[in-house]
């Protein structure tokens, strides 16, 4: 089964879920605010996608961070920060088997599920 991670009030997540439903693709939505991510899960995403891609520097959670935190961000601190503030993770994260995809574009999903 496909898993889609995100937060329910995110427009992009809603579009992705709506697309999956329209295509009758069985999926499980995981709200990672209510169901905290395990360190192993985010480490798996990092290995597949890279922490630089996962970290959403345009997030409203990124802006108020201390400048020193932003200036010294590295893999370890980014992963811990994303575990502590899940809204720093770009979304949605789609997990299909061993494959992990980030974001939503209808063309991208069409290719993934064709």
Residues designated as active site:
10
Mean pLDDT of 86-111: 96
49: closest CA among 112, 86, 103, 7?
103
Count up the domains in the chain and report the number.
Answer: 1
Peptide bond into 92 cis (omega under 30): yes
99: closest CA among 23, 45, 51?
45
d(CA 76, CA 15): 31
- Specify the CATH number for the domain of residue 85: 3.40.30.10
Range of the domain at 71: 2-112
Local structure of 7: helix, strand or coil: coil
Kindly report the pTM of this predicted structure: 0.92
Mean pLDDT of 61-74: 94
């Amino acid at each position: 089964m496909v898993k889609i991670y995100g937060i329910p009030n995110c427009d992009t997540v809603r579009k992705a879920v709506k697309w999956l439903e329209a295509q009758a693709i069985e999926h499980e939505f995981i709200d990672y605010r209510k169901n905290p991510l395990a360190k192993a899960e985010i480490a798996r995403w990092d290995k597949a996608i890279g922490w630089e891609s996962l970290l959403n520097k345009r997030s409203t959670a990124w802006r108020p961070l201390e400048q020193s935190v932003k200036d010294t961000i590295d893999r370890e601190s980014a992963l811990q920060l994303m575990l502590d503030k899940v809204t720093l993770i770009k979304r949605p994260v789609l997990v299909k088997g061993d494959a992990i995809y980030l974001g939503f574009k209808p063309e991208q999903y069409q290719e993934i599920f064709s």
